[in-house]
Amino acid sequence: MTIDFEKKYVRWNLILIGLLIVLFFTIVVTITIGSAGPIGSGNPEIIPMQAVWDILIGKSHLWPDPYKTIIMDIRLPRILLAALVGCALAVSGVVMQGIFRNPMADPFIVGLSSGAALGASTSILSGLSISIGIYSTPFLAFVGAGLTVFGVYFIARSRGKVRVNTLLLTGIAIGSFLTAVTSFFMYMANEQFRFLFFWLLGGLYKASWNTVAIAFSLILLGVIIIQFFARDLNAMVLGEEPAMHLGIDTGSVKKILLIFSSLVAGTAVAFTGIIGFVGLITPHIMRILVGPNHRILLPASALAGAIFLIWSDTIARTILSPTEIPVGIITAFCGAPFFVYLLQKSKKGKR
Amino acid sequence: MNKRKRITRLAAIAMACILILAAFIVISYITQLKESERQTGFAVIDDYGRAVTVPKNPQRIISLAPGCTEIIFAVGLGTRVVGVDDYSNYPEAAKNITEIGSYLNPNLEVIVSLEPDLILASDMTSKEYITSLKEKNLTVFVLAPKAIEGIIRDVRLVGIIGNKTKEADNLTNSLEQRINAITSKTSNSSLYRPKVYVEYYPYWTYGPGSFGNDLISMAGGKNIAATTATAYSEITNEFVVRSDPEIIVFTVGLHSSTTIKDIISRIGWDKFDAVKNNKIYTIDDDIISRPGPRIVDALEHLTRLIHPELFSLEREKYDNRF
Amino acid sequence: MLLKIADLSFSYQSSKILDGVTFEVKSGEFLGVMGPNGSGKTTLLRCISYVLSPRGTVLIDGRDIEELSKKEIAKKIGFVPQTSNIDFEFMVSELVLMGRTPHMGRFKSESTYDFEIVEKAMKLTNIQHLSERAFDELSGGEKQRVIIARALAQEPKILLLDEPTVHLDIRCQLEILNLVKNLCEQERIIVISVFHDLNLASQYSDKLILLNRGRIFSEGFPDKVLTSENIRRIYQIEAIIKRHPITNVPYVIPFLYAKNDKKMKGPTVHVICGGGSGTPAMKLLLDNGLKVTCGVLDVLDSDFEAARNFKIPVVGEIPFSQITNESNKANIDLIKKADFVIITDFPVGPGNLKNIEAAEVALDFKIPVIIIESSPVYQRDFTQKNLEEYFKRLKEKGAIFVENLESALKEVLI
C-alpha cells in the first residue's frame, strides 16, 4: 500500500501514553499540595514531604494519625474524584458537541444541570438528608438529571424521530424552567439557601472513598461504552443524512449516547454540583491538539479533563487557604485564556 | 422488532436505576452505622437530637460558627480553642486563633491537622459536611438553638461538656435575670407596643422563627413583619408604608452599608412616625443575629430603644461581662 | 443486480413530492434523472437510499429495502450529495475510511482489507496525493472526489449522485463524470445521477428519466426523452435539438421563445437558406415583428428544424436529393405571397440551386430580393461556377447585395 494508515495509530497511542504519564504525575504532585502542606499557601503547613512518601508506601505509623487521615482520607479521594469528574465532564462534552454538531454544546445542554439542581434543592430543602442519609442529595440530583433528560427527549420526539435542533431548544426551554423553579425554592428557603447556593457553585469538598467508589464505577462504565461509539460519532458530525448513508442508525445511536453521556455527567453533577467550563472547553482544546477523530478525541479529552480538573481543584483549595474558592471559578479563569491562546495559534497556522 | 426491543430496553433501564438506588441506600446505611461507633466519653444529646459521645475533658476545641465561639469563650473555655471559623471575631482573643475557613465550607485538612477532640458546629454547616467530619473519626456537637431559651440551654450544655458547670451556671443565671428584668415589665398586657421595623439588609427583615422577631416581642414592641411567611424575608416597600412603623432599627456591621440618609430618602417613608419623631436607630449586626450570650445585650438595646421609660430603671443591672 | 422502483410516492406533511414513480435499472447502467426545480429529483434519491420512508417499493435484486437494516443498505448503496460542508478538520484519508463504517463491527478495528479498499477508492478518484490534507482546504473538485471515494469505499452496488457537478468548473465536471461513467461500466455498478445540465445528462446517461411535479413525464433513451416538445412542456423554453458532433447524442440548444405573434401585421419575408445560416435570420426577423416563411430546406437541415420550432411555414425536401417540382412550386407560391425575399449565405450545390432560380421569379414579380454576402461566393459555390453567374443575373434584375443580416433587416424595414 502506498498510503500509510498505521502512522496515525502510532501517533495516537503516543498521545494517550503521554497523557497518562502526565495524569500520573499530576496525581503524585498534587497529593503534596494542600492547606496542611507540604506545599501550601500559608499556615498551618505541618506535613513534611517525607511524611507523604512514607504514608503512600505504607509506613504511616511513623507519623501522627492526622497526617494519614489528611493524605489518604481527605486529599487522595478528592484528587481521584476530581480526575473522575473532569474525565466525565470532558467526555460528555465531546459527545454533546458531536450529537448536536454545535461547538457551544456542553454536558448540561439538555437541561441536565437544571434537573440536578432541582433534585438537589428538593433534597436539601426538604430535610430528606436527615432521614435517608447523606447520600440523598447526590441521589436526588442524579434522579433529577436523569428525569430531565428523559423528559426533554420525549417532548422533543415527534413521529418517532428526534431532530437535534428540536432537542437542543427543548433542553434549553425546560432547563430554564427548572432553573426558575429552583431559584424560587432558593428564595423561599431561608437558612438552607446557603447550602443550595454553595452546592450550585460546585465543589469537590464532599469527596470520600465511598463517593469515589460510586463515581468510579458509573463514570468508567459510561466512558467505556461511549468509546465504542466513536466511529458513530465521527459519522454523525458529518450530518444527519450523511451518517445515515454510512449505515448509522442515527435514532438509536443518539438515544444511547444521550443516555450514557447523561449517566456520566449526571454522576459528576450529583457529587460535585455544577462545574462549568470543563465540559465545554476541553473538547475544543483537544480537537485543536489531536484532531476531530473521536477515536482519539474521546480518550484524550477524558485524560485531559481529569488533569485539568485536578489542577483547578488543587488551586481552588489551596490558594486562599483556609477558604476554598469554588472550583468553577478557577476552571474558567485558567481555561479561558489558554483556549484563546490556542485559537490564535491555530488560526495563524492556517494562514 | 420494534416493540419488543423497546420493552427490553426499558426493562434494562429500570433495572439499572434500581441498582443505582440500591447502591446509594446501602452505602448510606453503612456510613450511618459507622457513625454510632465511638470511643470513650459520655453521651450528650445535641441540638439535632443525636446522642454524641463527647470526651470527658476536651482540650482542643474547634468552633465552626461565631455563635459557638462566643458561647465557648463565655463559659471560660477560650484557652482551649485551637481553631475558629473566619467570621468569629468576638471576643478579641478569638481573632488570633487559627482560621479553618467559612462555616459553610470549613477546610477539612486544616481541621484534621489541628487534631481537635471536640468540634462545635451550628446549623449553618451542612449535614453532609458534619457527616464527613464524623467519617474522619471526629466528634461533632451541633448547637442550633431555635429561640433564646435554646441559647441558654446551649450555654449550659457547653458548660457540662467542658467541665465548666460553675461558670456556665453563673452566666445562665445572670442572663436569665437580665431577661426577666425586661420581660416582667413587657409582658404586661396593658403595655402599649409600638410598631417596630427592623432590617438587616435593605428590605430584608426578621419574621416568625427568627431571634430578631422574638427579641422585638420580648422588648415590648410589635414587629410589623410578624406575619411574614419565613424567618428571613424580603418585604415590599408598600408593606412597610402600609404598616407605618413608629420605630425603625437597622443593623450595622461588616455587611451593611445602609445609612440613615438612605432610610429617610425611601419613597413614602418621610411620612412615618418613626421618621418624623427621629426614631431611627442602629444595632450591631452581630449581637442580634448570633445565637450566643450577647443576644441578651441585643434585647437590652432594643428595649432601651422601644421602651426607654422602662429601661432606665434597670440600668444598674446591665452587666458588661466580657 | 436489478434495482426496481415500483409506485414510489412521498409526501411532506400535506404536499405530495413524488407520485407513483416506477422504473428499473440494471447493473452497468447509468440512469440520469432530470426535471425542473421542485420536481422531486433529490427526494427521489433520498427515497431510494431510504433515508426517507416513502410509500411504494424499492426492490434490490428482489429484496424489499424495508427489510434491510441501515447498515445493510449502506453496504449496497453509496450516496454522493451536492455539497459537503464538513466543519471539522478531518483528514482526507480519515474521511474516505469512514466509508468502511457499514462493513466494520463496533468492537473491531480496521483490517488490512479495509485499508486496501480505501486505497483503491482513492486511486480510482485520483486523490492519493491528498490523503494527509485537511478536507476543508481542498478545492471544490477535490472535495467532490473525496466524497465519491468515500462512497466507493462502501463497495456499493448502487451509486446515487445528487447533481454531483453543480459547483465545479468545466474540467472538473468532465473528470468526475468520466470517472463515474468508467466505474459504472467497469465495476458494473448501477449509477443514478441527478442532472441539472441537460447536455451532461444526455452525454453520460444510458437512460433518462424526466420528472415533472413528482411524476415521470418521460423515460427511456436520451433520443426519446430529449425532444424539443418535452423540453417545451416541462421547462417552458424553446430548444433546438442537434446531434453532438462527436458522440452523436442529443445536444440541446435552448433559446428564449421568439416572438411569433400572429396578430402582427408586418410584412412577410421569405428566407431562402440552409446549413444553419437561416436560423439567426428567422429569429431576427421574427423578433422585429415580421412574418417569415422559408424554403426549400432539406428536412435534416437545422434550418428546417428551426423553422418548425419557430412555427414558420416551410417547404421541406427529402434529404440528399434534388428539389422536386412540387417543392419548387410550393416554394414559389410562398415567395409570391411574401413582400421580401432574403437569401442568406448558404452553401449552394446542384441539389438546391433551384432555390436561387426561385429568387429570380421573385424579382420578376417585383418582390425585392436581398442577398447577404458575408463571405465570398466561391467559398460556397458547389455548382461548378454557376452561382456567380446566377448572382450576376440577379443583380442585373435588381437584387440588393448586403454584407450582413443587420443590413438586410434595414433594407426590409425601410
Considering only CB atoms, which chain A residues are within 8 Å of B109?
34-36, 70, 74-75, 317
Is the CB of B128 less than 8 angstroms away from the CB of A129? yes
Nearest CA to CA, how far is B177 from chain A (Å)?
A: 31
C27 vs A278, B40, C30, C149, C216, CA distance in Å?
A: 53, 90, 9, 20, 21
C72 to chain A: closest CA residue:
A247
**A324 contacts on B by Cβ (under 8 Å):** 101, 105, 107
Q: Would you say the pTM of this structure is higher than 0.95?
A: no
Decide if A129 contacts A136 (C-beta within 8 A): yes
Which pLDDT score, from 0 to 100, does residue C289 have? Answer: 81
Instruction: Say yes or no to pLDDT of B125 above 60.
Output: yes
C107 at interface of A, judged by CB pairs closer than 8 A: yes
pLDDT tens per residue across span A209-258: 888 988 998 999 999 999 999 999 999 999 999 999 999 999 899 999 99
**Is C59 near chain A, with CB under 8 Å?**
no
Contact across the interface for B20 and A44, Cβ inside 8 Å: no
Chain A residue with minimum CA distance to C155: A246
Residue A14: pLDDT band (50, 70, 90) is very high
Which chains would you list as touching A if contact means 3+ CB atom pairs under 8 Å? B, C
Q: How many CB atoms lie within 10 A of CB C380?
A: 18
* Nearest CB neighbour to A70, from listed B24, B48, B113: B113
| Cβ neighbours of residue C148 closer than 8 Å, sequence gap 6 or more | C80, C125, C161, C164, C176, C179, C180
d(CA C19, nearest CA chain A) in Å? 22
Question: What's the grid cell of residue A151?
Answer: 423528559
Pick C119's closest partner by Cβ from A2, A242, A248.
A2
pLDDT in tens, A102-148: 888 889 888 888 998 898 888 877 766 555 566 778 888 888 898 99
The answer to whether A134 contacts chain B (CB < 8 Å) is: yes
DSSP string spanning B149-193? Answer: HHHHHHHHHHHHHTT-HHHHHHHHHHHHHHHHHHHHHHT-TTS--
Of B109, B132, B233, the CB nearest to A34: B109
Express each pLDDT in A187-216 by its tens digit. Answer: 777 667 777 787 887 788 778 888 898 899
DSSP state of C18: E
Q: Which of A72-81, A324-333, C376-385 is predicted with the least confidence, judged by mean pLDDT? A: C376-385
Q: Could you report the per-residue pLDDT of C338-392, keeping only the tens digit for each?
A: 888 888 888 888 888 888 888 888 888 888 888 888 888 778 888 777 788 888 8
For the segment A47-66, what is each residue's pLDDT rounded down to a tens digit? 888 888 888 888 778 888 88
pLDDT at A270 over 50: yes
Tell me the pLDDT of chain B averaged across its residues. Answer: 84
CB A234 within 8 A of CB A203: no
Q: How far is CA C105 from CA A9, A98, B306, C114, C194, in A?
A: 18, 20, 83, 12, 32
Q: Which residue has the higher pLDDT, A4 or C331?
A: C331
Q: What angle do CA B22, B25, B28 make, to 5 degrees?
A: 145
Residuewise pLDDT in 10s, chain C (414 residues): 899 999 999 998 888 889 999 999 999 999 999 999 888 899 999 999 998 889 999 999 989 998 999 999 999 999 999 888 887 889 999 999 999 999 988 778 888 899 999 999 999 888 999 988 999 889 888 898 899 999 999 999 999 999 988 878 888 888 889 999 998 999 899 999 999 899 999 999 999 999 999 899 999 999 899 988 898 888 888 787 888 888 888 988 887 655 555 555 678 889 888 888 888 888 888 888 888 888 888 888 888 888 887 888 888 888 888 888 888 888 888 888 888 888 888 888 888 888 888 888 888 888 888 888 888 877 888 877 778 888 888 888 888 888 888 888 888 877
**Which of C51, C72, C107 lies closest to A228 in CB terms?**
C107
- Look at residue B234 in the predicted model and tell me its pLDDT: 85
Q: Does A324 sit within 8 Å of B107, measured CB to CB?
A: yes
Distance from C114 to chain A by nearest Cα, in Å? 11
- Assess contact for A264 and A278: CB atoms under 8 A: no
The answer to whether residue A43 neighbours chain B at the CB level (below 8 Å) is yes
With a pLDDT cut of 90, the percent of chain A lying above it is: 38
pLDDT, one tens digit per residue, over B38-88 is: 456 777 888 877 888 888 889 999 999 999 999 999 999 999 999 999 899
Cross-chain residue pair A245–C51, CB shorter than 8 Å: yes
* Residue in B31, B104, B131 closest to A198 by CB: B104
Q: Which of B136-140, B165-169, B273-277 has the lowest mean pLDDT?
A: B273-277
Mean pLDDT of chain A: 87
First-residue to last-residue Cα distance in chain A: 32
8 Å CB contact of C74 and A245:
yes
Helix H or strand E segment including B249: strand B247-252
Neighbour subunits, B (≥3 Cβ pairs < 8 A): A
Residues of A in contact with B122 (CB under 8 A): none
Peptide bond into C280 cis (omega under 30): no
Contacts of B17 in chain A (CB under 8 A): 146
In chain B, what percentage of residues exceed pLDDT 70?
88
Name which of B70, B204, B31, B198 is nearest A193 in CA terms: B204
Q: What band does A351 get if pLDDT is binned at 50, 70 and 90? A: very low
| Helix, strand or coil, per DSSP, at residue C21 | strand
| C79 inside 8 A of chain A by CB | yes
Residues of A with CB under 8 A from a CB of C: 1-3, 5, 8, 101, 228-229, 231-232, 234-235, 237-238, 241-242, 244-249, 287, 291-293
Taking the CA of residue A326 and the nearest CA in chain B, the distance in Å comes to 10
Distance from CA of B240 to the nearest CA of A (A): 20
Looking at beta carbons, which residues of chain C come within 8 Å of A226? none
- Contact status of C75 with chain A (Cβ, < 8 Å): yes
Whether A246 sits inside 8 A of C98 (CB atoms) is yes
pLDDT score recorded for residue B314: 46
Which pLDDT score is estimated for A231? 93
Q: Which residue's C-alpha cell is 467532490?
A: C144
HSE-CB at A258 with a 13 A cutoff on CA atoms is 27
Instruction: Measure in Å the smallest separation between the Cα of A8 and chain C Cα atoms.
Output: 10
Q: Which chains touch C (3 or more CB pairs under 8 A)?
A: A
Residues in chain A with CB shorter than 8 Å from the CB of C162 are none
CB contact under 8 A, B126 and A205: no
Q: Which residue has the higher pLDDT, A158 or C343?
A: C343
Q: How many CB pairs under 8 A join A and B?
A: 120
> Are the beta carbons of C102 and A1 separated by less than 8 Å?
no
Residue of A nearest to B116 (CA): A66
* Res B5: pLDDT: 67
What per-residue confidence (pLDDT) applies to A42?
62
A44/B21 CB distance under 8 A? no
Averaged over A75-81, what is the pLDDT? 93
**C101 and A229 in contact by Cβ < 8 A?**
no
CA distance C315 to chain A (A): 57
When CB atoms are compared, the residue of C90, C97, C110 closest to A292 is: C90
* Mean of pLDDT values over B212-223: 92
Q: How far is B171 from chain A (nearest CA, A)?
A: 28
Residue B97 · residue A51 · CB < 8 Å = no
Closest of C332, C338, C340, C312 to residue C398, by C-alpha: C340
Question: Least CB-CB distance to A3: which of C51, C88, C119?
Answer: C119
Question: Residue B278 above 60 pLDDT?
Answer: yes
**Are C101 and A247 within 8 A, CB to CB?**
yes
The answer to whether the beta carbons of residues B13 and A211 sit under 8 Å apart is no
**Residue B24 binned pLDDT confidence (cut-offs 50, 70, 90):** low
Is there a contact between C73 and A247 if contact means CB atoms under 8 Å apart? yes
The ipTM, to two decimals, is 0.82
> What is residue C167's predicted lDDT score, i.e. its pLDDT?
76
Mean pLDDT in residue range B281-286: 89
Q: Within an 8 Å CB–CB cutoff, is residue A320 touching chain B?
A: no
Sign of the CA dihedral C409, C410, C413, C414?
negative
Residues of A in contact with B49 (CB under 8 A): none
What is the predicted pLDDT for the residue at A311?
95
Nearest CA in chain A to B17: A143
Q: How far is A11 from chain B (nearest CA, A)?
A: 37
- What tens digit of pLDDT does each residue of B252-272 get? 887 777 888 888 888 888 888
